Amino acid sequence: MKRLLHWKTILKTIASLLVLVFIGAYSYLWTISNYPNIPPYSEINEYRFLTPSSDKVCSNPAPQNGNPDDPNNDLQQVSYQGWCDHQRQHYYRTPQGTEFFGLQYDWISNLERPVGKKPLVTRKYMQQLGYIYDPAKTPNENNPYDLPVGLTWHYNPETKAKMLDVSCAACHSAQITFRGTAMVIDGGPGGHALPSLEPTQFIANSIVSLSTTYLNPLKFNRFAKKVLKDIPESEYAAEKKNLRRATWSSIKQALVYGKNNGSLYPTTEGYGRTDALGRIANTVFGDYISADNYRIADAPVNYPHLWDIWAFDWVQWMGTVSQAMARNINESLGTRAKINLLHGAELYDNSVMVPELHCIETTLQFLKPPQWPEDLMGPVDQTLAAEGATIFAETCASCHGPFPRKAVNGDINHADAGKSHECTTCHGPTMTNNDGTLIELKDTRNHPAVRVSDNQKLGKSEAEFQLQYKRDWYWELIHIPLDHIGTDPTSASNMLNNRYDINPLVEQIKQLRANGSFLRLPDPASIPDPSKTGFAEGLAFIGGEVRAKQYRQWGLIEENGYDVVAGEQEQVADLNGFGESDTPQNWRAYRPRPLEGVWATAPFLHNGSVPSIFQLLSPSEERDQVFYLGRKEYNPETLGLEVGKFKGAFKFDTSITGNSNLGHEFNDGLCGDGVIGYELPDRPGYCRQFTQAERLALVEYLKIHSDGERPQPESEPHCSGVEWPNQAAAQIKPAEASIKLETNDSNQVSYDGTRL
């Protein structure tokens, strides 16, 4: 006993324990440095875009042969999916104001693996994780470090640094591979696991690597040398100190995030999914307002594909939001753009980049759905596809439309329209009330009151139509109630059922108001009790303030209020997106969208629980109960992914909460409650499953399905306020900065009373 207590023994024990811990930690870091559990790299022989235009419609920014008299000149190029290179670059590299634990842009490419000197972020590693590279461009001025699309930077005046900015393209660009050819599908659903805290995933691994860099002086010296390579010797020591401070601050932020958020996501999102609404809520209401607002988010959803969304009247899986700017601001906040919601003087200060969001949004108006690459994946059997077209018209078109609606200027006379039109002319065949019950359109007793001549449209209140005519017409999206479609209800239920306490914010506003501030309080009509704020209402309020703050800086709305300055209505309407007001609706429903190009968006359903279209057309018992994600090898027979088991895969188990693969079923029995199938002509109300032949015909048809003529954007994307890649443009805009918008319309529209 005495010997055991001898100081030498104690010291020895401690020393050997320390050695053990060190060896353990080192071997763990060594393991994750070698990526044990991520999908294997698959060789890419050819890297390409889809759907070149038939004519050369884009001017070549860097022609090799610029002689206009030479017929072989390359002054003009084809577009892909409707985008010329500069539009694609805007989409790929325009930042939106997001920050991840203070990670800086210049750090990312200079980090080493946690153990060893090899660089952490390489093309191979990022491609294994499902990130996508620009097939046309090697490193260039927009992308000096050869990072995946969507990873970019903005300048933060507070930290005086270029912050890593994850923008829209990171999650809304897809890549599928087929026998060694990788195809980038612009606007398609992303396939990475960005929000994952697995230490071998990009963000978490960056933090691990940053931590080892911080702890290991040799590593830190190497890191500092690379990051500060342009710093003159005289300032090097001071800058290095700053870098060390910034590094530590970043690690701390990540640890706090991990502590607060680590246990909130019990259903693993895996590759290609995120619980978008859940994460937005936990970030905005939880991280930014109060720790009491953290809620379990167990409803991961796919990243929706973005072609045509600008033409929709409602976006999001539940079709909850109608205003583009509102949707985009809320998404930025949820992707960790900073906002101050707690401290009086600088209340609502934020890093959301409104002109950039507007540029990306309007750029997306020019994006077209991908067309089936016959040269690569085989010709389409036209006879079979024609059979499929008939079945599509009979069974699918009644929900998936599209339902083109003539845009109106707010002077529609519903009473007259009702006399000369069927209800379905305006509203499609199926539509729900706000609580999710089906409206039987012919049944006037259950039809919501239509206020005539009051800018009122079914299902919307106070819609502003002033600029609707600019897209000529739009596509109405209908809402199918959860209990009819029967797909996993978790996402909708969480959104509808969760309540958040925004009183800390309301208290700040009250104090400011007591000191004479004009800032408004939440509207009691939508938020009667701020301690029980609904998701949509809360976000609409906060997002509205972000919008207002920016517009106020630009002089678009009055300095001490919310009224639009006379003469600026059209610009505000354009920024918001066709003058739509932000009146989110809590539909207990999911929203079927038009299906052109849908073959490129596997896996399917909002939660990605069905790996192929063939399975989606089958009864649920014929769908995979368990499948494996992480590769994007395409199967043209089923219009889906190869989902066999492989090392490093994400196992998708459909029995876990949020992962249900039921519903949207073509099955036998009574239609409804999840069965949407083929209604029996001789037995109304009863459905049957598709035969094998019918499924194959539909699969063939969906390769070439077209939604017909689509709304046309009016002019160029509105990117004049964005001088990318100039560094100054990416700084947060000073108040006098203004964005020039085309306001050459002579249409007489009354803007009276336009409010935000």
Partner 1 sequence: MLKKIIKLLILVVLSYALLFVSVFAAQMLAAALRDPDAALVDNTPLGKANRRTETAAIVESIRKIVTMERTPQYQRDAHSKPHGCVRATFEVFESQATYNHGIFKNPGKYQAWIRFSNGSVPALVDTKKDARGMAIKVMNVPGEQLLPPLLAGKTQDFVMINSPAFFIRSTADYRELEKAVARGAPFSYFFGAHYLNPFEWRLRQLYLALGTRKTAPATPLSAQYYSMTPYNLGPNQIKYSAKACENYQAPGVDYSQPNFLREAMKKVLSKQDACFQFMAQIRKPNERMPIEDPTVEWSEEKSPYVPIARVHIPQQGFDTAAQNDMCEAMSFNVWHGVTGMEPISYFNLLRREVYLHTAAYRQVRNGMQAIEPNSWCDSLEQYCPKASADNPSVDPTDFDEALPLNNGAL
- In the complex with partner 1, which residue's Cβ is closer, 99 or 624? 624
Residue 621 near partner 1 by CB under 8 A = yes
Task: Give me the residue label for tokens 């969480």.
Answer: 494
Compute the least distance from the CB of residue 46 to partner 1, in Å: 42
- Specify the 3-state DSSP secondary structure of 216: coil
Question: Cβ atoms within 10 A of the Cβ of 54, count?
Answer: 7
Compute the least distance from the CB of residue 313 to partner 1, in Å: 23
Q: Using CA atoms, how far apart are residues 158 and 139, in angstroms rounded to an integer?
A: 28
Compute the least distance from the CB of residue 494 to partner 1, in Å: 11
Tokens standing for 752?
A: 């009276």
- In the complex with partner 1, which residue's Cβ is closer, 365 or 609? 609
User: What contacts 87, CB < 8 A, 6 or more positions away?
Assistant: 363, 366, 717
Q: Residue 518 belongs to what H/E stretch?
A: none
User: According to CB under 8 A, which one of 201, 213, 268, 667 is a site residue for partner 1?
Assistant: 667
DSSP letter for 111, please. P
User: According to CB under 8 A, which one of 665, 694, 700, 707 is a site residue for partner 1?
Assistant: 665
- In the complex with partner 1, which residue's Cβ is closer, 222 or 688? 688
Cα separation values, 751 from 451, 570, 604, 634, Å? 19, 8, 42, 50
190, 335 contact by CB (below 8 A): no
- In the complex with partner 1, which residue's Cβ is closer, 54 or 655? 655
Q: Residue 134 belongs to what H/E stretch?
A: none
Q: Using CA atoms, how far apart are residues 119 and 146, in angstroms rounded to an integer?
A: 13
Give the binding range for partner 1 (CB under 8 A) out of 41-49, 472-480, 574-582, 682-690. Answer: 682-690
Give the binding range for partner 1 (CB under 8 A) out of 157-165, 175-183, 423-431, 658-666. Answer: 658-666
Give the binding range for partner 1 (CB under 8 A) out of 160-168, 208-216, 384-392, 655-663. Answer: 655-663
DSSP string, 380-430: --HHHHHHHHHHIIIIIHHHH--EEEE---S---HHHHHHHS-HHHHH-S-
Compute the least distance from the CB of residue 492 to partner 1, in Å: 8
Tell me which residues in 122-161 interact with partner 1 (CB under 8 A).
Answer: none
Residue 404 near partner 1 by CB under 8 A = no
Give the binding range for partner 1 (CB under 8 A) out of 109-117, 182-190, 661-669, 691-699. Answer: 661-669
Phi, psi (degrees; rounded to nearest 5) at 13: -60, -50
Q: Using CA atoms, how far apart are residues 224 and 229, in angstroms rounded to an integer?
A: 8
Residue 685 near partner 1 by CB under 8 A = yes
Tell me which residues in 492-531 interact with partner 1 (CB under 8 A).
Answer: 492-493, 496-497
- In the complex with partner 1, which residue's Cβ is closer, 250 or 267? 267
318, 492 contact by CB (below 8 A): yes
Compute the least distance from the CB of residue 622 to partner 1, in Å: 9
Residue 533 near partner 1 by CB under 8 A = no
Q: Using CA atoms, how far apart are residues 23 and 290, in angstroms rounded to an integer?
A: 39
Q: Mask of contacts with partner 1, 471-490, x by CB under 8 A?
A: ----------xxxx-x--x-
User: According to CB under 8 A, which one of 45, 138, 655, 746 is a site residue for partner 1?
Assistant: 655
Residue 684 near partner 1 by CB under 8 A = yes
Q: How many residues belong to the chain? A: 756
Compute the least distance from the CB of residue 588 to partner 1, in Å: 5
Count CA atoms closer than 13 A to 389's CA, side-chain side: 12
Compute the least distance from the CB of residue 659 to partner 1, in Å: 12
User: According to CB under 8 A, which one of 669, 704, 731, 738 is a site residue for partner 1?
Assistant: 669
Q: Using CA atoms, how far apart are residues 40 and 6, in angstroms rounded to an integer?
A: 53
User: According to CB under 8 A, which one of 235, 443, 563, 673 is a site residue for partner 1?
Assistant: 673
Total residues at interface with partner 1 (CB under 8 A): 33
Among residues 582, 574, 581, the alpha carbon closest in space to that of 721 is found at: 574
Tell me which residues in 575-614 interact with partner 1 (CB under 8 A).
Answer: 588
Q: Using CA atoms, how far apart are residues 49 and 175, in angstroms rounded to an integer?
A: 9
User: According to CB under 8 A, which one of 48, 447, 520, 688 is a site residue for partner 1?
Assistant: 688
Q: Residue 14 belongs to what H/E stretch?
A: helix 7-33
Compute the least distance from the CB of residue 439 to partner 1, in Å: 15
Tell me which residues in 419-478 interact with partner 1 (CB under 8 A).
Answer: 435-436
Question: Cβ atoms within 10 A of the Cβ of 624, count?
Answer: 18
Compute the least distance from the CB of residue 621 to partner 1, in Å: 4
Give the binding range for partner 1 (CB under 8 A) out of 211-219, 304-312, 504-512, 616-624. Answer: 616-624
Sequence letter at residue 135:
P
Tokens standing for 510?
A: 């009250």
Cα separation values, 337 from 273, 314, 351, 505, 550, Å? 20, 24, 6, 18, 15
Compute the least distance from the CB of residue 685 to partner 1, in Å: 5
Binding footprint of partner 1 on the chain (CB under 8 A): 435-436, 481-484, 486, 489, 492-493, 496-497, 588, 619-621, 655, 660, 662-663, 665, 667-670, 672-675, 684-686, 688
